[in-house]
A and B are shown apart, each in its own frame.
Chain A
Amino acid sequence: MEEGIVLTMRGICKSFPGVKALSNVDFTLRRGEIHALMGENGAGKSTLIKVLTGVYAKDAGEIRIEGIEDAISIRSPQEAQNYGISTVYQEITLCPNLTVAENMFIGRTPGRSVDWKGMEKKAGALLDSLGIPARPKQQLGSCSLAVQQMVAIARAVDTECKVLILDEPTSSLDDKEVAMLFRLMRELKARGVGIVFVTHFLEQVYEVSDRITVLRNGELVGEYEVEKLPQVELVAKMIGKELEGLSDIKRRSAVAGGAEDVVYEAEMLSSTECRPFDFHIGKGEVNGFTGLLGSGRSESVRAIFGADPVTGGRVKVDGKSVKVQKPYDAMRQGIGYLPEDRKRDGIIADLSVRENIILAYQVMKGMGHPLSRAQAEAFADEYIQALDIKTASTDTPLGSLSGGNQQKVILARWLLTHPKYLILDEPTRGIDVGTKTEIQRLVLKLAEEGMSVTFISSEIEEMLRTCSRLIVMRDRNIVGELTGNELTQERVMHTIAGGGKEDE
């Protein structure tokens, strides 16, 4: 093996029934580099990583790792771990009710009795050296998501770690937390760890990465040094054509500025998870909740949909007082809700793509009126086409689709119900750049056709592009509302940070 290279993968192939997820892919990782793995939804990034970590057995190809003469075969994540390959998945897989130290060492303390004191000391030292703001004795669940993720990384790198893999680690973090994570990544890089970084955020790639490998449709497009690959070119390589500009998206305020008739109105609405708030949305309006993670924005929209038990408030839909106690009530009023946590609240992993798409529509039709197979098939095909969902067939279990494509299926599910008011909580999470703009366009098109949309996104630019009114939240309270020419990045940041409006 060449000097400085920790890992090579050559000619990797992997097929699933009906899909060739990887064909002949090469990948090289050097010591002390951050290597971004990029590609559209379904390009094969996660599959490549799962082959590397022994979750899937490869059909062909070879993997070599520094310090070992022969090609190695990795049959389980445990074996990968033994070779010094550690992974942190997007979903945190630790136990929230154990302490930080326990989470870092449990399951790997060799031998009989656990040395609690020593464990805590070691954990403390490691956390300090990596600059992670957590105490060993703290319950993991009480840390922020970002810190939990960093603990997961600390757990991963504690062992003799040569290769650290991060599959979309930042998709549920806000800017500050991302910065914290990047500091940690640089620290590890300086220690000589090779880091594989999967993400759909281009800016982040350019901020931390040294090199980029691009996949498209399971094939290798190429490996590039970051400085030599301008952003536009990277996108072109990912999607195989030039990306249409974002400029035409800017039209929204012209369309949905003076929405008159109020579709949905809530007064002092509260749930077990959120404090009372007032809210309304007009026909054809796109508005949004913004604020840091944990500021209560998701909890507020969950209250609107009845996702958490509603504890009080008055709700009017189209001017008529209605009761929305549970999701079904909201659906009957023509409200749809795409949840933030796709895995926990959205997907029915073992059911087919078809069944997942028709689910909400079917529920609204009622138990005694099942859709015919042909009808369901037609609906599924329609949305697979419209949203360009990559799936082998309508019968494929949803759980086997790539993350981004799962998200599109959930979006399809709610579009099929033709709601008059659609709530989208992080609809573009895990979605590739090309599709992201498609979804923003789609939202604006739907609004033009008269649908009201509430949009939540961690990316402020995305919200500025689509929303004509932004409701800003901090510490579970609404602290401001921005419209018209107040809708600028600085102004939003300012309000979030607390310098904002007088009505505090």
Chain B
Amino acid sequence: MNKNTKGSALANYSQLLVPLIAILLLVIFNLFRDPSFFSVGITTNNNGDPVLQGNLISILNGASELVILSMGMTLVTAASGGQDISVGALAAIAGSVFVKVLKSQGGAISPVLVVGAFLLCCAVAMAFGAFNGALVSVFNIQPMIATLILFTCGRSIAYWINGGATPTISSPIISAIGSFVPGMPVPTPILIVILMGIFFALLFRFTTLGLYIQTVGINQGAARLNGINAVGIKLLSFILLGACCSVAGMIGVSRLGLINHETLLINIEMDAILAVAIGGNSLGGGKFRMLGSVLGAYAIQALTITLYAMKVPSTDVKAYKAVVIVLLVVMGSPKVKETVERLRKRAGGKRPAGAGKEAA
């Protein structure tokens, strides 16, 4: 009865195929273009510490915010069957709160203050997430429409938090978050991504959240009849996305040492949604694989960096990106999968089937 478990286990991974192939193609393309593209070197930074450097590192590093947002976006997509387009705006709000708290003590930035600032901005972002989530789960508003509200006014709220200014912060602690911790050659954002990954892995390992989110996303009514609090699960997914926004916002602010509410993580919501789609997750909700979205996010970042490395003018980058993304999304579509499956069957299944064909 279990003869086919191997086949279905493979099927479990096939979803990761598209982002992996995308990344692989980009790697090969870049190696042809410039064999030294992926060489990783060690240099000394301003503080005299040895740090890793190279295109590979900057792809991994630069993708951090996107990866973190796409983790949360995966959950929202799965549970609600829709997407949150306010993540960029919410990250800007979170970043503004972060800076506001740091500025509140008249310049002295202690580790305790940074922790406090992060906790507060996280709480604020989660509250906004809960607001979005309530619109979606309690009032049954389409996620895109519900989050359109915050998408529109989020950056104004961020503006208002710091009184319209774009304050700068300079502190060794902040630059440690945004670039390198002294003595650590790996950029901190990459480490934060790993921490977030571990957080979600543990969450799925030690709670039933994954099962519940998928159940709610697939059949909300049936989920309720099995005792699952469907409203609560959707709400929770938006709150978790809010937390992801605050982490992304903090990284973004720390990188630059300032908050610019107009430009911080601008347009990132579309990339986050795309990362989810490229990762083979259905945008209609239901089954999900967070690892797919993470790989999707790295693929998008790799594409962006490649285009910049090819000196494509930044105005054209979007167009090129669009072309590649259309290809990726089509590659992962059910229609293409079906056709591939059929072709494979035709190639492999000649032997026994022949008998029936010739019978006439």
Q: Which residues of A contact B (CB under 8 A)?
A: 10-13, 15, 17-18, 24, 57, 59-62, 71, 305, 307, 326-328, 331, 337, 339, 344-351, 355, 359-360, 362-364, 366-370, 384, 391-396, 413
Contacts and interface: CB of A to CB of B under 8 A. Distances in A.
A328 B227 CA distance: 4
A347 B286 CA distance: 13
Contacts of A344: 219, 221-222
Given A327-B226, A359-B211, A395-B8, A11 B355 contact: yes
Given A59-B345, A60-B357, A355-B211, A339 B4 contact: no
Interface residues on B, range: 35 or more
Across the A-B interface, give the 7 residue pairs with the lowest CB-CB distance, nearest first: A11-B356, A18-B4, A328-B227, A60-B356, A60-B353, A363-B227, A395-B8
Given A346-B222, A392-B4, A395-B5, A12 B356 contact: yes
A359 B226 contact: yes
A347 B226 contact: no
Among B12, B207, B223, B356: residue with most chain A CB under 10 A: B356
A368 B207 contact: yes
Contact of B219 (A12, A307, A347, A396): A347
A13 B211 contact: no
Contact of B1 (A327, A369, A384): A384
B359 interface: yes
Interface in B274-291: 286-287
A393 B359 contact: no
A350 B214 contact: yes
Contacts of B9: 395
A326 B356 contact: no
Contact of B215 (A305, A326, A345, A348): A348
Nearest to B204: A370
Interface in B316-360: 342, 345, 349, 352-357, 359-360
A394 B11 contact: no
Contact of B209 (A339, A367, A394): A367
Interface of B: 1-5, 7-9, 11-12, 205-209, 211-212, 214-215, 218-219, 221-229, 286-287, 342, 345, 349, 352-357, 359-360
A149 to B, nearest CB: 22
A393 B2 contact: yes
B342 to A, nearest CB: 6
Given A61-B356, A62-B360, A348 B225 contact: no
Contacts of A71: 360
Contacts of B207: 367-368, 370
Given A344-B222, A360-B227, A370-B207, 9 more contacts: A10-B360, A349-B218, A350-B287, A351-B211, A359-B215, A367-B208, A368-B207, A393-B2, A395-B5
Contacts of B224: 326-327
Contacts of A351: 211, 214-215, 218, 287
Contacts of B206: 368, 370
B287 A18 contact: no
Contacts of A366: 208
Contacts of A61: 356-357
B76 to A, nearest CB: 18
A349 B7 contact: no
Nearest to B5: A393
Contacts of A363: 208, 226-228
B229 A328 contact: yes
23 contacts: A10-B360, A11-B359, A13-B352, A17-B7, A18-B4, A24-B356, A59-B349, A59-B353, A327-B226, A328-B228, A347-B219, A347-B222, A348-B219, A360-B227, A363-B226, A363-B227, A367-B207, A368-B207, A370-B205, A393-B3, A394-B2, A395-B8, A413-B226
Contacts of B219: 344, 347-349
A368 B208 CA distance: 7
B154 to A, nearest CB: 31
A345 B230 CA distance: 13
Contacts of A370: 205-208, 211
Contacts of B354: 60
Contacts of B229: 328
Given A348-B215, A348-B219, A393 B4 contact: yes
